[in-house]
Amino acid sequence: MQRYRNLDGNSGVASFTVGDGFIDVRFIEGGTYRYDSTTPGADDVAAMQGLARAGRGLATYINQHVRERFAARLD
């Protein structure tokens, strides 16, 4: 996993992995979740991948748009 840059300094995201059609997100408070083209969907995953690479806005996006819609909990 790649460490999330957290440019705003207050994110709940610790790290992430971007793959073809998915993103895995590990949260600081625990838990790693997979979001993929099925759940929550390709558009949301593409947006999340861009935010993860930019290091800003990923946790906010998840809280506002995705919430509990994840494909799997990985740990």
- pLDDT reported for residue 8: 86
Number of domains in the chain: 1
Q: List the domain range (segments joined by +) for residue 50.
A: 2-73
Query: Cα 25 to the chain's mean position, in Å?
Result: 4
- pLDDT reported for residue 27: 97
- For CA atoms 54, 59, 61, 65, the dihedral sign is positive
- pLDDT reported for residue 44: 98
pTM to 2 decimal places: 0.95
pLDDT tens per residue across all 75 residues of the chain: 999 999 988 999 999 999 999 999 999 999 999 999 999 999 999 999 999 999 999 999 999 999 999 999 999
What are 59's two structure tokens? Answer: 């946790």
